[in-house]
Structure 1
Amino acid sequence: MKRSTLLIVGLVAVLLIAAVVFLFSGRQRAEGGAPSKEAAAQPRPALTVTVARPESTELTVTLAANGNVAAWQEASIGSESNGLRLAEVRVNVGDVVKKGQVLATFSAETVQADVAQARASLAEARATAADAAANAARARTLQQTGALSQQQINQYQTAEQTAKARVQAAEAVLAAQQVRGRNTQVLAPDDGIISSRTATVGSVVGAGTELFRLIRQGRLEWRAEVTSAELGRVAVGTPAMVTSASGAQVKGRVRSIAPTVDPQTRAALVYVDLPALQQNTAIKAGMFARGEFQLGRTAALTVPQAAVVPRDGFNYLLLLQPDSRVAQLKVETGRRVGDRLEITSQLPEDARIVVQGAGFLNDGDLVRVVEPPIASSASSASSASPASSASAGPARAAAAEPSVK
Structure 2
Amino acid sequence: MKTYKLNRITVIVAAAVGAAGLGFALYAPASTAADDKKADAPKPALTVSTATPQAARLPIKLSANGNVAAWQEAVIGSESNGLRLTEVRVNVGDQVRAGQVLAVFSADSVQADLAQARAALLEAEANAAEAGANAARARSLQTTGALSAQQISQYLTAEQTANARIASARAALATQQLRLRYTQVLAPDSGVISARAATVGAVVGAGTELFRMIRQGRLEWRAEVTASELLNLKPGTSALVKAANGSTLTGKVRTIAPTVDPQTRNALVYVDLPASDAKDAPFKAGMFASGQFELGVSAAMTVPQQAIAVRDGFSYVFRLNSDQRVSQVKVRAGRRLADRIEILDGIQANTPVVISGAGFLNDGDLVRNVAASASASAPAAPRTK
Task: Indicate the residue corresponding to 2:328 in structure 1.
Answer: 328
Contact 1:220 1:277 in 2 (8 A): no
What amino acid sits opposite 1:223 in the alignment?
R
**Structure 1 residue matching 2:136: 3-state secondary structure:** helix
Contact 2:329 2:346 in 1 (8 A): no
Task: Indicate the residue corresponding to 1:390 in structure 2.
Answer: none
Task: Indicate the residue corresponding to 1:237 in structure 2.
Answer: 236
What amino acid sits opposite 2:129 in the alignment?
A
Task: Indicate the residue corresponding to 1:391 in structure 2.
Answer: none
Task: Indicate the residue corresponding to 2:6 in structure 1.
Answer: none
Cα root mean square deviation, aligned: 3.1
CA distance in 1, matches of 2:232, 2:85: 53
- Asked if 1:183 corresponds to 2:182, the answer is yes
1:132-281 map, 5 Å: 132-278=131-277, 281=281
CA distance in 2, matches of 1:43, 1:118: 112
What amino acid sits opposite 2:284 in the alignment?
K
Task: Indicate the residue corresponding to 1:364 in structure 2.
Answer: 364
Q: 1:29, CA displacement in angstroms?
A: 11
CA distance in 1, matches of 2:216, 2:323: 69
Segments of 5+ residues of structure 2 without an aligned counterpart are: 1-8
**Structure 1 residue matching 2:356: 3-state secondary structure:** coil
**Structure 1 residue matching 2:80: 3-state secondary structure:** coil
In structure 2, do the counterparts of structure 1 residues 215 and 302 end up closer, same or farther at CA, with 3 Å as the change threshold?
Answer: same
- Asked if 1:318 corresponds to 2:312, the answer is no
What amino acid sits opposite 2:328 in the alignment?
Q
Contact 1:360 1:404 in 2 (8 A): no
Task: Indicate the residue corresponding to 1:348 in structure 2.
Answer: 348
1:12-23 map, 5 Å: none
Q: Please list the CA deviations of residues 310-330 of structure 1 after superposition, one character each: whole Å capped at 9, or x if unmatched.
A: 234432210112221111212
In structure 2, do the counterparts of structure 1 residues 312 and 167 end up closer, same or farther at CA, with 3 Å as the change threshold?
Answer: same
TM-score (norm 1): 0.83
In structure 2, do the counterparts of structure 1 residues 28 and 99 end up closer, same or farther at CA, with 3 Å as the change threshold?
Answer: farther
CA distance in 2, matches of 1:363, 1:373: 21
Task: Indicate the residue corresponding to 1:309 in structure 2.
Answer: 309
CA distance in 2, matches of 1:284, 1:331: 41
CA distance in 1, matches of 2:228, 2:181: 54
**Structure 1 residue matching 2:345: 3-state secondary structure:** coil
**Greater relative CO (CA pairs within 8 A, separation 6+):** 2
CA distance in 2, matches of 1:249, 1:190: 28
What amino acid sits opposite 2:333 in the alignment?
T
In structure 2, do the counterparts of structure 1 residues 317 and 104 end up closer, same or farther at CA, with 3 Å as the change threshold?
Answer: same
CA distance in 2, matches of 1:353, 1:171: 92
Q: 1:68, CA displacement in angstroms?
A: 1.0
CA distance in 1, matches of 2:293, 2:332: 23
Q: 1:115, CA displacement in angstroms?
A: 0.8
1:27-42 map, 5 Å: 36-42=35-41
Number of matched pairs: 368
Identity %, equivalent residues: 61
Q: 1:156, CA displacement in angstroms?
A: 0.5
In structure 2, do the counterparts of structure 1 residues 41 and 312 end up closer, same or farther at CA, with 3 Å as the change threshold?
Answer: same
Q: 1:113, CA displacement in angstroms?
A: 0.9
In structure 2, do the counterparts of structure 1 residues 332 and 244 end up closer, same or farther at CA, with 3 Å as the change threshold?
Answer: same
Q: Please list the CA deviations of residues 129-149 of structure 1 after superposition, one character each: whole Å capped at 9, or x if unmatched.
A: 000000111111111111111
**Structure 2 residue matching 1:50: 3-state secondary structure:** strand
CA distance in 2, matches of 1:264, 1:77: 34
Q: Name whichever of 215-224 and 38-47 sits farther off.
A: 38-47
Q: 1:350, CA displacement in angstroms?
A: 3.1
What amino acid sits opposite 1:270 in the alignment?
V
CA distance in 1, matches of 2:276, 2:28: 86
